[in-house]
Amino acid sequence: MHVIRPVRETDIDVLCELVTGTGVGMTSLPRDRDSLARRVQTSLETVEAGPARLADAERALLFVLENLDTGAVVGTTGLHTGIGLSEPFYSYRVSTVVHASPTLGVHRVIPTLYLNNDYTGGTEVGSLFLHAGHRGGGLGRLLSRSRLLLLANHREHFPEKVIAEMRGVTDARGRSPFWDGLGRHFFSMPFRRADYLTGTRGKRFIAELMPRNPIYVPLLPTAAQEVIGEVHPDTRRARALLEAEGFHYEGYVDIFDGGATLEARIGGIDAVIRSRALRLTPGQPAAGSPQCLVATMRWSAFRCVLAPLEVRGNEAVVDEAVAGALAVPSGETVRAVPVDPDARHMHWLGRALDE
């Protein structure tokens, strides 16, 4: 049995060990103890402040995936709201300019990168990492969708636009073709160093060194052009999960590695649309009951599990171990959504809950 729960101060050491496997490009999970400790503290403060304070400033929540049988922390996931309010949030927007000469009969449409802060004030989902030894069995989906159920629980407090910065393409040595073709000319440092500084010190230095003028894509090396809007092979599954939820690529990319940024409106996210509030009922779900994500509705004690669930009227029937993992009393309201996109399961769940 695995459960998503808020990070605790006592998790810092195990987080330091866990993130050694993230590789480069995961700036939201820096391999630096002090930076991780600050992220944990920020999450604790955000939980304590409550959802009504989300609009005040940049705030962040970090959750861990715990194996309840062993106590091991094997994954992380998180939310960052009010992005860009305390320090600028930069991205490149891939646009076009037209160069034309009727005299010469030339008409060229040229892709161009524009530095922008268009996502300021939005919510970012990120910090998703699952230990390699625990991949499969739906745990990646649990990590990804659990934070979407949190959005559904408190959607009135979150900005409507939600984004996800996808890790861009790097090679086995941690080199980024996009960085080598663009960023290094202005920062005079390897990608690993820029990645580390972003994760540990923020992005203020970008404004000081990055050119403000548009970048003409054809002037970049071919290797850099080819990875614009692409994602790292290890990130393709995460991208597919988000796209299945309704996230999409609108031409925004990370300024360091060129990775795609996906976006969605809360009201258009599948887990938000299809999830339902039910009363938790410990018992024995019927054979063949669909696998569902089941999450508590409590802000300060959010927990989420993956388990078979049977709907009986407005009750969510799960076995005693699942109810114990959620750590809320019988009869308390929980939120559930089926994992299987099969239309029969979705229709059956939705009809039962609307009765």
Name every residue whose Cβ is closer than 8 Å to that of residue 102 and which is 6 or more positions away in sequence. none
Strands (E), 84-221: 91-101, 106-116, 123-130, 161-165, 215-216
| Helices 33-49 & 191-201 angle (0-180, nearest 10) | 40
- Separation between Cα atoms, residue 30 and residue 6, nearest integer Å: 19
Element (DSSP H or E) covering residue 296: strand 291-296
Answer for the pair 179, 256: CB distance below 8 angstroms, yes or no.
yes
Which candidate in 232, 248, 345, 347 is catalytic? Answer: 232
Q: What is the DSSP letter of 266?
A: G
DSSP string spanning 122-159? -EEEEEEEE-GGG-STTHHHHHHHHHHHHHHHTGGGS-
- State the CB neighbour count (10 A cutoff) for residue 340: 11
The yes-or-no answer on residue 232 being catalytic is yes
Catalytic residues: 232
